[in-house]
Structure formats: structure tokens, C-alpha cells
Structure 1
Amino acid sequence: MSRRSRRQSFRVDRPSARLLVVSAVLLDLLFVVGAVAAWPIYRAPAFVMVVAIALASAHVIAWAGVRWRLSGWWLALLTFGVYVVLGLPVVAPAMLTGGGDQALRGLVGVITAPVTGWKDLLTLDLPLGTYQTTLAPVFLIWLSVPVAALSLAWRARRLWVLAPLLGLLLPIFGVLFGAAALSDPLAWGPLMIPGPIEMAVGAAAVLLALAYVVWRTLDDRRRSLRAAEAATGIRTTGRSGSAVAGRIAISAAMVTIAVAAGAIAAPLAVAGQPRDVLRERIDPRLEIQAQLSPLAQYRSFFADDRYDEVLFSIATDADRVRLATLSYYDGRLARVLDPSVDGSDQTTAFVRVPSSLPAPGGTVPATADVTIAAYDDVWMPTVGSLTGIQFRGESSSALADGFFYSPSAQTGVVLGGTALTTGLGYRQEAAVPTSLPAVADLVPGRTSPQLLPATVPESLTDWIRAQEAPGGGEGLALLIERLRARGFLSHALSIDAERPPLWRAELGDYTFEPSRAGHSTDRIDAMFTALLQRETDVGGEDDALLVAAVGDDEQFSVAAAMIADQLGFAVRIVLGARLTGDELPRCEDGGCRGGDVSAWIEVQDASGVWVPVDVTPQHENAMSPDVLEVRDPEVPTEVHPEGAEQVLPGDADPADNGERSDDPLPESVDWAAIWAGARIGAITLSALLLVTGPFLLVLLLKAVRRRSRRSAPDPVGRVTGGWDEYVDAAVDSGLPAPGTRTRQEVADLHGAGDHGSRATLLATWADRSVFDAEPTTSADSDRFWETVEAERSRLLAERGWWARLRARLSLRSLTRRTRT
């Protein structure tokens, strides 16, 4: 068939304007419903613009496929090319104009979005806004899915039924990557409808898909009847207007009843069931749980090499800077996360921060400019409640990707191998409380303690009863005040008297007392046992004579938290530094040294506000000598060496270690660098497989098909398989498909000149092998396949490089039997 005749037949098969317009309108409505379902993920005007540009581009690409009859592979390549070219200016125009480095990172983010974009969608807190390239998956999905759906609707004769099914993927995207919480329920008299927006979106999507299927079925039937009338001259009798109206009314009533029944039954069916979305499956809590307790490392800041070293500098109007919030205590360690709670607990979830977070009520905006010096931990210095953050420097993009924040705990961390380095800076937007109530005015929100009884020493509850303090905030203020006044500050188990540590020298007239590290229940029990014993020995209420508990913020913060819990307050421990005040250590001129790090507790009032309470013990009143002197036993103990048995020490508790060894740890393999390289290689390989995998799959399928045909057990089967191989090669090269034609008709259709004689020879040979009485031999089948391979090579040799590649990757031969 000549090229002109093929064009003419194509014009006959070209879809009508009515089919193009109606199909596009119905499917576009389905695409828009999908955009409505995904709107809560972003809630930004840029999302609307990205969807509009993607849909417009999809219509142009699909129409180009119809106009020039492009194959599926060319449509896929054209779609991916449009995505790459328009991706960065559409989804992240700010990165395009932000300089070469920003533009390059944005382009990489757009290209890798099909592989890694889901991570940004699931680990960032909603709404995402226009954060970096998080809109790239939207542009890709609202471009590729409509191209495929419109191409099927406009060009496929039977597979058009897949078009609305592809359109339903867009609302599903909004559900899977959306929030776990439904929209506010809708009350209609005694009927309560949960998630009315989600229900409306789902119903609209299903009804639109159904409407398209019904319309297309009726349209195909109408065109078939017209074709039959044109071929036979026999007119069909249509239904009367009343019959059509009746059918429409019945159908509409059935759909209305089904939707109404679903709206009523669905809430009852899913009542009490959680809404499972992909967002709930991603949680960085595993990396956070692998970190040591920040409070267990408290005394490391008071070593001489860190005590006077500036960790970071901060410029802000806030009065405190927070490093970590520890809300859980298990009797051994105070922790940021409760290891007994699974990752579905959203109240303790750490999420990536989008462009901004909402400010809590009763707050005013504040800013903090932070510059990292010698601080290298994962816990980020922050103030107040974070509402936004902008990193500065070469590694700003990597830090933004690795930064996670817990709004409930007001704690930020840097994970994923990203580290804080000297010179790193960032600007934090925050919200700080307008005013805070006094501790004595606080009202507890509970009536019973929350800590497990096994984690609270009996000596602490005995000491609380011995103070005869009132309840509520007044009692909390009194008990914390007495605890601090009767405690004594010490940061070490022992010191060198000739070369005292820097913290000892800065305290001035100070009498050293040994204090072991750790904040386990046993350590807290020792403190309150000493306090009770001192009260028994001395009596009275003179705090200067009742000093007996030795420790620092590590122990006293845990002790104060236990006291607040016993009084019914929600409480948490905070590790950070003070920026104002003269009575306790604070950061001078915004430079926070190791010796400025402290710990305090935050107590929650019944109104929900958290109030900081300092717990650092005093150091002016030394412990009385009569408490420290220990007399030797008056009755000597008789020792029998020959009967002594060796008793091995118990397992060491890392939380109760006193002095830590200064010996360097043995060097180990840098698995972080190896893992980073392996991850980059895996991402690169995945991207290559994503791009080349479909092409390799087509080549593999054709090779397997050819091998099975050539190795058929029967010589006749090998000959007929060789004919099928020739026909497939001709179809992939652009020649017409055989349809219902015989072999000789196909040879005449494909043949011209000498080539036609070879095609006729193959057709005659194949017919003879099937119908001739003389059996076909294996030698005949081998010669037949040699002729087939020569004809395949000729068909490819007559074309250019691109045409040969397109023929090898063509899907026409794989789908021609389905079309037939």
C-alpha cells in the first residue's frame, strides 16, 4: 500500500469532532475532580497553575498523537520531554531564577521526582505549599495520565474503556498522599456524615467515569447502526421520545438511590475505623531512637575542652533556646520519643517542614538568626514554636531535606547523614507566647500521675508528703523551690585539686562535692533518701541546714519532673540554654558556650500553655560536715580469705556512669560514606531502569516470541511461526496489518517488485506446509526461517537509524491480534 493510500485510510479512521470534544469534556471533569482531591496536600495557588499547564500540555500532546498517528513509545518520549523542559519553570520558578546552583538542584529534583518525589510528599508536613520541587509529581501525573487517557479515548476502538479508569488514578493520588484526618463532618438533622468533601469527590469521580462509559457505549452503538444502514439500506426504528425519557428517568433514579444509600451506609460501615494513608507509613523515629539521650550527654558540655567553647551564636528576642525536648522517662533514661509507642502516634511525629507552619494561638511572631560554631549534634537550636526556616550556605538544600520537626515537642533534628558544620547559618521564623502565667497560678490538667509507679522512687513520694505542701501550682512552686535550695550543684564525681576544672573555678568560693552522673530511678532515689535523712537528723525548715542532695540539672530536672507528675501536671524536660537573666548561667551576647547549656522542665497548665520552670540547684550553701563524715565501724569485721568467694559486678548502666573515659574510641569503617555512595548508585540505577526498562521489556518479549516460534516441536508449526514472524516484522516496519486477509493477499499487500516475489514465495511456502499432503521436513522449516531472517533484515536495512529503532521498539506487532 502506498503512503498516499495509507493517509487516506487514516483520514477515514480519524475520530470525529464530536467524539474528540465530548470525550475531552467528560474526562477533563474527571481530571479536575482529581485536582480537587489533591488540593488539601498543597493549598497554594501555584498548584492550580501547575495543574492547568499540565492539562493544556496533555491535550496538545494527545492531539499531536492523533494528527500524526504517533505510536505509544513516541507519545511517552514526547510526554517525558515536555515534562523535563517545562518542569522547572512550572513547578519551581524561584529555583530557576535563584542562580546556577539552585537551578541545577531544581532540575535534578524535577528529573528524579518520578523515583524519589514520593518521599517529599510523605515526610513533609501538610500543606506543602511550593516547597522546593514538591509540585513536580503533580505536574508529572496530571501530564502523563491525561495524555494516556485522552489517547485511548480518541484512538482506541476497544481499549477506550481504560480511559476513565486511568482518570480515576488522580483522585486516588489525593487520597493516598493526603492527610489521615477527614474533613469536618456534616450534620443534617439526626444524620451525621463524616468526611463530606471526600465523599463528594469520590462520588463525583465515579459518576463521571460511569457517564463517560455510558456515553461512549451509546455513541459506538449509534455509529454501528449508521454504518449498517449505509451498507444495507435498511433503516432501523428508533425509540420514541417517551421511551427515551423513561429510560433516562429510571437510570437517574437508580444512580440517585445508590449515591444516597452509599452516603448513609458508608459512615456506618467505617465507623471507628482509622483512615490508612501512605503518610502514616513514613516516620523518622527509627533514626531518632538510635540517638543517645540528650540528657545523658549533659555533663560532656562541662569538660574543659567544651566548657568555654562557643557552640553556636544566636540573635533573637526570645529568652531561651531549645535543643531537645524529652517527654518520656522509663526509669533509666529521659527520651525524646517513647519506644513503646508505634509510629502511628502523630502527637510525637517528626515531619519535614514545608514553606511554613501555622502559629499556635496566643503567640506573637519572632525571629532567630543562628550560626553554628563547634556544635555538631543532631538536635537543632530553635526558639519558640517554629513557623518557618531558611538555611544559608552551600549545603542549604541538603539540610532542608534532612531537617525534621515535631510541632508538639517544638524540637528540630537533622537526620539522613546531614550534619551541622562550622559556619552553617539559618534564619528561623517562630511564634513565642504573648505572656506566661506564674508557676503558683498553674492548674493541673490531671488527677493522677502518668509515670509508672516502678519508675518513681518511694523516697520521692515520702519527701513530698513530708513537706506538707498544698496542691496545684502553689504546691509545685514550693516543692521546686525547696528542692533547689536543699540541693547542691556538682558536675563531676571527682576533680584534680591542683588543676580544678573550669566549671569549678568559675563558681568562685565553692566547696566541691562528688556527684555521679546518670538520672535513673536509683540515682534519684539516692538524692531523696539523703534529703529525708537530713531532715530527720536536723529538723526544722532552714534550707541552709538541710542541704543534702548533690547533682546538677541532669538529676534535678528528672526529680522536678517526677514531682510535677505526682501533682497531676503534664511535664517534659528541656535541654537548651537561657538567653536572659542574671541569677543562672546564660549565653553572653548571644554566644552559647558548653558551660551555658542547662536543663529545665516545662509544665502544662490546664489551658494548654507550657510554662518553663528552672531547676538548677544552688551552690552557695555547702553541705554540713556532720552529714559528710562517716565513722568507722566500732566492731571490726572478721575476714576469712580462704572462704571468700569472688562476686562479679553486675552489668553497667550507661546512664549511671560517673567519669567517662578519655581514651579515644577505636577507629571504624565510615559506613555513612559507603551507604551514601550505595544510595546514590541505587537511585541512579533505578532512574535508568525506569527510563529504559519498558524498552528492554519490549525487546525481551519479541526475542522470546521469536525463539518460541523457531523452536516449535513440529516443522509445520515452525513454518507458520516463521510466517507470523515475517508479518510482525512488516507491521513493525510500518506496513499495513493483515487483518482478515489470507497469506497470498498479505503478500500482494506488502509486495512490490522483487520484494513482492519473496513475500509471495513465503506465503506459498507456508500454505503448502499446511495444506499439502506431503509432510514438511525440518530442513524445509530451516530454509524457510533463513528466508524470513533475510526479509527481516531487508525491511530494517531500507530505513534510517531512527526508523530501525522505532521498528524494533514498536508495539504494533504485540497488539495487532487484539485489534484484529
Structure 2
Amino acid sequence: MSAPGRRDLRARRAPRVRLRFFVAQAALLDLVIAVGAVATWPIYRSAAFAVMVIVASVAAHAIAAAGLRWRWNAWWLAGATIAAYLVLGLPLAAPASLSSPAQALSGAVAVLRAPVTGWKDLLTLELPLGSYQATLAPALVVFLAVPVIALSVAWRGGRFWPLAVGTALLPTVFGIFFGSAALLSPFVVGPVTIPREALVGLAAVVAALGAIVWRTISDRRRAIATAVASTGVRATGRPLRGLAGRIVTAGAMVTAAVVAAALAAPWALAGQPREVLRAGIDPRLEIAAELSPLAQYRASFADETYARTLFRVDAPTAADRVRLATLPFYDGRVARVVDPGAGADDPRTAFARVPSSLPSPAGAPSRTVRVTIDTYDDVWMPTVGAVTALAFDGGDAASLADRFYYNAETRAGVQLGEPGLRAGATYSQDAVVDDGAPSLADLDPARGGPVLGGDVVPESLVTWVEAQEASGGGAGLATLIERLRARGFLSHALTVDEASPPAWADDLGDYAFQPSRAGHSTDRIGRLFSDLLAREGEIGGDDDAALVSAVGDDEQFAVAGMMLADQLGFDARVVVGTRLTSDEPTLSTCDDGVCTAGDLAAWIEVRGDGSTWVPVDVTPQHAVSPSPDTQQRQDPKIPTEVRQEQADTVLPADADPSDGGRRPDDDTRAAPDLTALWTALRVGGVSLLTVVLLFGPFALIVLVKLFRRRARRRADDPVERLTGGWQEFVDAAVDHGHPVPRSQTRRELAAHYGGTAGATELATLADRSVFDATAPDPSDGDRFWAVVDAERSRLDDGIGWWARLRARVSVRSLLRRSGRASPTRRPMPRRRRDR
């Protein structure tokens, strides 16, 4: 075949070769990105995520291909990507909002805000997210922008193509950093246990390595083909055999590394927590700063709050309790919802935001509960049973949902928003209500001994338990709780006005008041059992009515019941809430679902060796009052004259009605209300951050060019001042769309950039300053820069404001290779050699 024929054949084959190159390069990068999609799947676990990834990938390939075809610069590619995000955002990132126009508008706003604020949802919501609100928007940003950048860099070639592979790994990084803090269930292959996270990481590394190897081989082949075409000399040797050997060697090395990592990963990661961004984001600090709801319990029985309606509950008949807070921690001073010292991996402290739904315990059916807030304004959310879904109503529903956190282990929720729950707030809750819970007597201990230490449990409690000689297990605990309630007496105050008894005392009917100190510290519980032991020592027998001596209310008796359960080997925790129904008529309940402050109660939940928590009421009786003449039933060993008329009531030492409710270092002074100020600062900060993110890069480009121009204009060396002015003219032309200079002379560039007298003068003066034997005059710099400013203005003539703005923020002059071919220092003049 003749040489022209071979050239024609190569010309016809060239488009097909380029097409195969583009397709193969895209396929390898898509494989790397697909591994990232697998890594991100546990965050969502939804078909909507798969649809989003596919559609975003198709749109990204179209944008990258269009940018390659029409040679778009970075700003056009960014604009097309942003436009695609705005168009696809609502149907892909918030598909649930398409059910109504109002929800669609709300979803569109959430999609617009997601690139700035949506990352918080990924870190605070309970996984998996599904398609809840606009939580898919951050993933859409990643899976739309990453392919556009990676394909554009790889297809356009150049020495920066390795950045395309690094960019394609970003979805994998996204899936790891925003994923769960708990490891997924591993793959078990015979005796080998392989963590799924390790497999995903290995797959990403292997896919990226494959893309790099293929691109390196492809570039080498093209370079050899170009050399052969230009020189006609063919390469000798057997490149295929050498290539096959290198591939086999690389494959063996990768296989060995994968096998070694698979064998070593389970041993190396055993017992190690998974550090992700989610592990450092939780509301525990805010919850820990709140006062214990058990310490605030007695304040609800003051006359000014006792009859106040807190909330209304519309619940199914099977629901018998409303939970406000669960307190599984006790340090001897106060029972707490969270323990600041507990680790982040403790499920009792794992408060997280609720996505669209939570799995039902044991697959039990959910029932709908509706709660309406009246005067209740605390952070502890009224919930029924196990929450599987919760939706707020009203205009502030979005802000309330953003600050609602739930702990599935303790079945407790908190509302940390500002202003939070207030009158008129309503929400619907899907709940799983436990039916047919086992009785306390049927439980078996979960362990062989107590968990609470001797510094927390009073000695009098241990002595009282031993004195009861009750059997072990659930039956023994039921006996101890029954005796504790029967020998206790209900009282909500330390002192009362006998002429005007409190409202809670009137509701108890025929009631004889007894003083009771607040608090539930170890000392307070110890006094409770010391009174029981003293009465049993004086009276003896097992007549509960005669042995009534422990005075208190649910605050003390709940903690006492928790300690008793712990002593017998049971898991126990305190719950504060209200009862909707009760088998005991003496216990307060919410009438027709209307819960008042006087209906607040505290009980304990006990768990044996199973997973079911059994609620146990611990409220003491109020029908039989402690006998005032108990000490007269036995003759005193040392008769003493008692002068009753001189006896005065003396408060216990350091008595404090709020004992245990506030830490010693808490400041009781009323702090100024800065809610409006913080709200304004937060809104202003978010707005300022949005403006900075949107316009900051453009402002930065303008500032960099301004400083560059100032440095060139004020250069000390006259030559640098003139050559810097020439570079400023060239940069301005490049930013206005003129081609980047390659090997042209200054006069050729001046002609190419307009050919005006001013451009020609700039080229002449710049050449003279470099090549002339004498240095330019300093005054020439001012005249030169005046011409530069005139030429920059000329480049703006005849174009619109949008084109001028685009030139100001263009980065072409910042990224172009330096076109200086001449030194900035003048050459020394040659000296004539004397012959």
C-alpha cells in the first residue's frame, strides 16, 4: 500500500481509536465511582439512592462529553453541573416532596440549602436515611460533580490526568466518612472473617490501580504510535510478552496484598472503634447540661403548676404509659439521662435524629399516636412505646424535626430546638406498644451480682434487703418492691400550711401530711431505709401497716427500686412520664388523655436475662400514715421527761428541697434571654456563609489578579516593570478569550491580539527593555503602564457586561504556562576582543 493510502487509513481509523479510548477511560472511572456507590449504600439503603446514582451518572457523562465537544472552560462546566443539580435535585434528592405543591416548594428550598447545610443531616440522623426529606442532596452533589470533573480531566489529557483517578475515589471517601460508626456484619469464608469495610477499601484501591495502569499503557502505546508515524521506524522486540509479564507480576502483587489484608484486618481491627465524622456529632453535651427530670419532679406538685395541663395524648387502648425521659445512669447524687463519662459506643447515650422511619422491634405492627402540646415546654419529648416514625405539624415542623433526637435503646426522645416545644405544637407518632409483657415475678436475673458500687448504694439498703429474707430472682424482687411500697408513705413536700393544705393533698382524700425531704442522693435513699430498719427493730413482725415509716414520693422510691433490682442482678432504669391507664385505682392517670402536672410519675423498668423491659410502679401508699405513738408501744429503757410544748420543728442539716437536682457549680442566677440575639447571629452567619461559598471563589480570583498587577506595576527593576506590564497585557488578552501564547514573538502576539498601535508599542518597548544594551529609563515604566491600561480598556470595548465580568473572574491567565522566552535581566554587552 502506498504512503498516501496508509495515511488515509490512519485518518479513517483515528476517530474510532479516540472513541474507544474515551469509552474505555469512562468505563474504568465509572468502576471506581461504582465502588464509592457501594460504600455509600449503607447510609441510605433505598431504591431512590440507586436511581439517583444512575441518573446523576448519565447526566455527568453528558455534561463532560458536551464540554469536550465544545471545549468548555471550567466555568461553563461548573455552570452546566449546577444547572443539572437544580433540575434534577427535586425529583432525585427529595422524591417524597412531589406529593403536593406545598411539599414540593419545601423540598425545593431544602435542595437549594443542602449543599451548605445538608451535611449536618447525614451526621445527626439515624441510619439508614432512605429518601427522608432532602438527605439525598449531598450524595447527588457528589455523584454528579465527581464524574464531571474526573471525565473532563481524563478525556482532555495532559499531565494532570492522575487527578481524575483521585477525584473518582471521593465517593468512597464520602461513604466512609459519613457512614455508621458501627461496623457492618463481616463476610465469613470458612475460618476467615473479612470486614465488609476492608473489602470496599480494597476494591476501591484495585479499581483505581487498574485505571492508572491502563492509562499509562495507553499513553505509552500512543506515544510509540506517534513516533512510528513520524519517523517510519518500528519498535523491535516483543512488547506483548513483556507487557504480559508485567501484568502477571502486578496481579500477583495485588492478590498477595489483598489476601494478606483480608487475613490481618480482623485481627488488627478487633476491638477498635470505627472513627467517622458521625462519631463526633451527637447531642449528648446539650442533654447532659439539662437538669435531671427526676430532680425537677417535685416542682410539678406546687399549687401554681399542679392543675396545669401539659399535653394531650390520643393513643390506642393498648398504650398505658407516656414516656418523657429514661434515666439509666446514677452516680450517687442524681439520676441522669446521659452520663458524660459514658463512651460514644454506649447505646444508652446514642441519641440521633430520626429519618423517615425506624425498624419495628421484632416486626411488631405500629400504631398511630397523636400528641398536642399545651403548657409543656421542657426538652423531654412525650412519646408512647417504641417510636418507628414521627412527624411534626405546623409551620415550624422542619425546625422541630431538625432538632428532634431519639434513643432507640431507652425509647426516649428530646427536642433541643429553639424555642422548642410550645403551646399548640402537634405531632403524630407511629409506635410499637408492648402487649402482654411478662410479670416481674417471672424474670430471671441477668447477672450474678450488682453493678452499682458500695459508694453509691447505702449500707442501710443492703442491710434491709438481707433482713427481708426474700427469695432470689423476679419473685424476690417483686416481694421487696411490694414491701417497700406498703411500708412507705407518699408525701410531696417538706412543709405545708395546715390551714390551707396543697392541692395534691386534697386530691388524696383522707390524708394526714408527713414531711418529706426532696432529692434522691445516696444519703437521702440511705435515710429512707434507715427509717425502715429502725421501725422494724422497734416493732418487729411483718404487719406492713405497723411498719410504715419511709416517707417520700416517686423521686426517692424510683431510685430505691432501681437499687433493689440491681442488688438482685437485674438491669434497671428509672422512667419519668405519665400513666394513661392503671390497674391500681390509687395511682394517678391522665383523664381522657389529658395529662396535667399532677399526673407526672416515676417508675422503674426491669430487665432480666432477655431483652424485654418490664415496667414496675414504685409509688408508695398514702392510706396508712406512720403511727405517731410507735415509740410508746415499748417501755423506754431510760425514762425521759418529754416537754411537748417546747418542741420546735427543726429542719435537717443542709436541707435543700432541690437536693440532687443541681450540681454544686451550677449558677442559679437568671441569665439574660439571648434567644433573639443568637437566632439573628445564626441566621446572619448562615447567610454570610452562603454568600462566601457562592461568591468567595470569584472574589478570590479578582484579588489575586489585583495583587499580581500591583506587584508588576511597582517592581523596583525597570526591566521587570516593563516585562511585567507586557505579561499583564497578555494575561488580559487571554482572559478575554484570545489564545494562550506558545512560541510567538511579542510583535506576532501584538498583531494577533489586535494589531493596534498601542499593542505594537508595548511589544517594541518590552523587546527593547530586554535586549537593548542600555537600561530603560524609569519614566518609561509609567508611560508603558499607561498604554497597558489603555489596551486593557480596549479589550473591553464592544463586548457586553457579562463578557467583561467573565474575563475578570477567568482563571486562564492564572493557569497558563509561563510564556516568557526572554530573561528579565539584561545581558551584559559584549566586549570587543583586541587582536
Instruction: Please say whether Structure 1 and Structure 2 have the same fold, judged by a TM-score greater than 0.5.
Output: yes
Aligned residue identity for 2:308:
E
Instruction: Provide the alpha-carbon RMSD of the alignment.
Output: 2.5
Q: Partners of 2:205 and 2:231 in 1: how far apart?
A: 39
Aligned to 1:81: 83
Name which of 66, 69, 77 aligns with 1:67: 69
The reply to whether residue 204 of structure 1 matches residue 203 of structure 2 is yes
Aligned residue identity for 1:684:
S
Decide whether aligned partners of structure 1 residues 534 and 819 sit closer, same or farther in structure 2, where only a CA change above 3 A counts. farther
Contact persistence 1:516–1:657 (CA under 8 A):
no
Aligned to 1:615: 618
Q: Partners of 1:330 and 1:110 in 2: how far apart?
A: 45
Contact persistence 1:517–1:657 (CA under 8 A):
no
Q: Partners of 2:790 and 2:289 in 1: how far apart?
A: 65
SS in 1 for 2:659: helix
Aligned residue identity for 1:612:
P
TM-score, normalization by structure 2: 0.90
Decide whether aligned partners of structure 1 residues 326 and 152 sit closer, same or farther in structure 2, where only a CA change above 3 A counts. same
Aligned to 2:418: 417
| Aligned positions of 1:120-519 closer than 5 A | 120-193=121-194, 195=195, 197-237=196-236, 239=238, 241-316=240-315, 317-361=318-362, 363-519=364-520
CA apart distance, 1:56: 1.5
Q: Partners of 2:640 and 2:692 in 1: how far apart?
A: 79
CA apart distance, 1:241: 4.2
Aligned to 2:787: 787
Aligned to 2:672: 669
CA apart distance, 1:126: 0.6
Identity %: 56
CA apart distance, 1:365: 3.0
Name which of 719, 734, 737 aligns with 1:734: 737
Decide whether aligned partners of structure 1 residues 803 and 540 sit closer, same or farther in structure 2, where only a CA change above 3 A counts. same
The reply to whether residue 585 of structure 1 matches residue 588 of structure 2 is yes
Q: Partners of 2:631 and 2:619 in 1: how far apart?
A: 22
Aligned residue identity for 1:797:
D
Name which of 647, 654, 657 aligns with 2:658: 654
Aligned to 1:3: none
Contact persistence 1:751–1:760 (CA under 8 A):
no
Q: Partners of 1:579 and 1:269 in 2: how far apart?
A: 51
Aligned to 2:832: none
Contact persistence 1:523–1:656 (CA under 8 A):
no
Write out per-residue CA displacement over residues 271-292 of structure 1, whole angstroms, 9 at most, x where no aligned residue: 4332211110001011111111
SS in 2 for 1:454: coil
Name which of 589, 596, 600 aligns with 2:599: 596
Write out per-residue CA displacement over residues 634-653 of structure 1, whole angstroms, 9 at most, x where no aligned residue: 599xxxxxxxxxxx986968
Aligned to 2:714: 711
CA apart distance, 1:670: 1.9
SS in 2 for 1:313: strand
CA apart distance, 1:570: 0.9
Aligned to 1:31: 33
Write out per-residue CA displacement over residues 245-290 of structure 1, whole angstroms, 9 at most, x where no aligned residue: 3333333333322322332334444443322111100010111111
Contact persistence 1:398–1:418 (CA under 8 A):
no
CA apart distance, 1:694: 1.1
SS in 2 for 1:453: coil
Q: Partners of 2:360 and 2:566 in 1: how far apart?
A: 28
Name which of 44, 62, 84 aligns with 1:42: 44
SS in 2 for 1:575: strand
Aligned to 1:565: 566
Aligned to 2:723: 720
TM-score, normalization by structure 1: 0.91
Write out per-residue CA displacement over residues 472-518 of structure 1, whole angstroms, 9 at most, x where no aligned residue: 11111111111111111111122222222221111111111111211
Q: Partners of 1:305 and 1:460 in 2: how far apart?
A: 35
Q: Partners of 1:653 and 1:455 in 2: how far apart?
A: 21
Greater shift, 760-769 or 594-603, is seen at 760-769
Aligned to 2:7: none
Contact persistence 1:15–1:155 (CA under 8 A):
no
Aligned to 1:812: 812
Decide whether aligned partners of structure 1 residues 772 and 729 sit closer, same or farther in structure 2, where only a CA change above 3 A counts. same
Q: Partners of 2:325 and 2:819 in 1: how far apart?
A: 64
Write out per-residue CA displacement over residues 561-599 of structure 1, whole angstroms, 9 at most, x where no aligned residue: 111111111110111111122422111211112221111
Aligned residue identity for 2:658:
P
Q: Partners of 1:448 and 1:689 in 2: how far apart?
A: 59
SS in 1 for 2:816: helix
Write out per-residue CA displacement over residues 612-649 of structure 1, whole angstroms, 9 at most, x where no aligned residue: 1111111111211214899997599xxxxxxxxxxx98
Decide whether aligned partners of structure 1 residues 363 and 479 sit closer, same or farther in structure 2, where only a CA change above 3 A counts. farther
SS in 2 for 1:781: helix
CA apart distance, 1:38: 0.2
Return 5+ residue gaps in structure 2 as ranges: 1-13, 644-651, 663-667, 821-835
Name which of 697, 701, 704 aligns with 2:704: 701
Aligned to 1:761: 761
SS in 2 for 1:723: helix
Decide whether aligned partners of structure 1 residues 373 and 652 sit closer, same or farther in structure 2, where only a CA change above 3 A counts. closer
SS in 1 for 2:817: helix
Aligned to 2:535: 534
CA apart distance, 1:215: 2.1
SS in 2 for 1:598: strand
CA apart distance, 1:145: 1.2
Decide whether aligned partners of structure 1 residues 241 and 226 sit closer, same or farther in structure 2, where only a CA change above 3 A counts. closer
Greater shift, 244-253 or 306-315, is seen at 244-253
Aligned to 1:576: 577
Write out per-residue CA displacement over residues 25-73 of structure 1, whole angstroms, 9 at most, x where no aligned residue: 1111222111111000000100011111211221122122122222112
Contact persistence 2:29–2:168 (CA under 8 A):
yes
| Aligned positions of 1:50-65 closer than 5 A | 50-65=52-67
Decide whether aligned partners of structure 1 residues 118 and 240 sit closer, same or farther in structure 2, where only a CA change above 3 A counts. closer
CA apart distance, 1:94: 2.6
CA apart distance, 1:129: 0.8
Decide whether aligned partners of structure 1 residues 46 and 798 sit closer, same or farther in structure 2, where only a CA change above 3 A counts. same
Decide whether aligned partners of structure 1 residues 673 and 573 sit closer, same or farther in structure 2, where only a CA change above 3 A counts. same
CA apart distance, 1:819: 10
Q: Partners of 1:228 and 1:745 in 2: how far apart?
A: 31
Contact persistence 1:35–1:51 (CA under 8 A):
yes
SS in 2 for 1:654: coil
Q: Partners of 1:352 and 1:737 in 2: how far apart?
A: 53
Contact persistence 1:364–1:434 (CA under 8 A):
no
SS in 2 for 1:577: strand
Q: Partners of 2:172 and 2:747 in 1: how far apart?
A: 51
Q: Partners of 2:808 and 2:19 in 1: how far apart?
A: 33
CA apart distance, 1:144: 1.1
Contact persistence 2:26–2:151 (CA under 8 A):
yes
Contact persistence 2:96–2:132 (CA under 8 A):
no
Write out per-residue CA displacement over residues 386-428 of structure 1, whole angstroms, 9 at most, x where no aligned residue: 1111222222111111110011111001003241122222221
SS in 1 for 2:188: strand
SS in 1 for 2:362: coil
SS in 2 for 1:422: coil
Greater shift, 726-735 or 305-314, is seen at 305-314
CA apart distance, 1:344: 4.5
Return 5+ residue gaps in structure 1 as ranges: 1-11, 637-647, 659-664
